[in-house]
Structure 1
Amino acid sequence: MKKTIILVALMMTQATVADTVLGFYAGVSNWQHDMAGNINSDISSSDRVDIDFDNGGNIFYAALEHPVPFLPNIKIQQNDVQAEGLINISDVAAFPGQSVDVIGDIDFSHVDMMLYYEVLDNWINLDLGLSFKYFDGYSDFNYQELLDDRSDFDDVIPMLYGKGQVDLPLTGFSVYGSVEALSFDSNDVTDFEVGVNYESKMGLGGVIGYRALSVDLVNIGDLTSDLEIDGFFAGINFHF
């Protein structure tokens, strides 16, 4: 995996394609997501807790594209990904043979920083680069103040990044897809997004789409998880 990242980085440093003008992008959207799968917890005698929550959070981003060759463009995105609810657990370690309702609170909020080059920049757009996904979250399971198992995780995961977009001429509409992906040892993280953009001549626009985040990690700090977080989002954006 390290060799793949180094190879992509070397290829990007040789790119001569850059944006013809200075551009700044910003936006906010609301992501209504489902969070399902399992995550480690000592509150269960099996050391794993199955969850299935419906929640939502906001996504904020800002991006700068410039005409300077060899220097990558940059996008920073804050993702609020938190879910909570009741979980019925029949194998609570402290109460063998009993079934209890445990309160679960999972926070996979993170910041993405993408460094990318515009390989194509016309009615068909292609961005390629690297991203760094910084998780600063926790999992917390408690039962009536008698049991409380909290795990915090704080880690940066480097990933490959790509985005393709097709503009629909004379309409202001475009369709796009983007992906961040990483796989090493028994760890796999994929962040996939597709959507439809609209941008007016004033630069103000909107977006609707679907996003799926898969987090399958083993012993990253105190975290072991196999979670799928997916759902639809809608938002507004502005291009200066």
Structure 2
Amino acid sequence: MNNASSRQAILNQIRRSLCRGPLPSAMVAGLESRLHQYRPHLQMQRGQGTLAELFVRNATVVGASVEMAASTASVSTVISAYLLARQWPAKVIVSGADLDWITGCTTLEVEKRIAGHGDHVVVTGVLAAIAETGTLVIPGSRERPSAALFLPEHHIAVVRSEQLFYQQEEVWPLLRAADDGFRAVHLITGPSKTADIEQTLQQGAHGPRSLHIILVA
């Protein structure tokens, strides 16, 4: 059964449970129009400071670390220095076609593939970043499935300044315009944390232990 017939089977089952048939064509047309003619909602007053300043402040509050890079050309060097400062192996897995421009250097080994269990550090790009909450918006893709974001021990995300938005509502039109049939869209706010067991905070229970964000000017 293909996706279209599966969808129709689910809708038919819902209609039967509601004891009705398909909606009138006029109502369907109105709903379709509403879906494709997005109207922005009211937005709250913005906080003080630039988008970059607000994003850095809020991302730090939720446990991420943020570092600035002068240009995309310097990202490999910034990553290398970050790994060296923590005495980690000078190797990263780059997942996602949006970071094809990242290359290795004399102090950094770059492997481009889908990251998974057992990988120490994964580097990904983002579709957008939300300054109001310090959140990363990362769609799943063939080159970067959900597992690539949650199975490695540590996550480095590269955010370009033009990918910064103030609040979540501004990102939805971007997702609609992309129209890539994303299987999932992940909103990541800080590293994985939980206090479910004896109210003791644990990092890395459901995802990477650390989240480092490189903000490219």
Question: What TM-score, normalized to structure 2?
Answer: 0.24
Q: Tell me: higher relative CO, structure 1 or 2? Use CA pairs within 8 A at least 6 residues apart.
A: 2
Structure with greater strand share of residues = 1
Structure with greater helix share of residues = 2
Question: What TM-score, normalized to structure 1?
Answer: 0.23
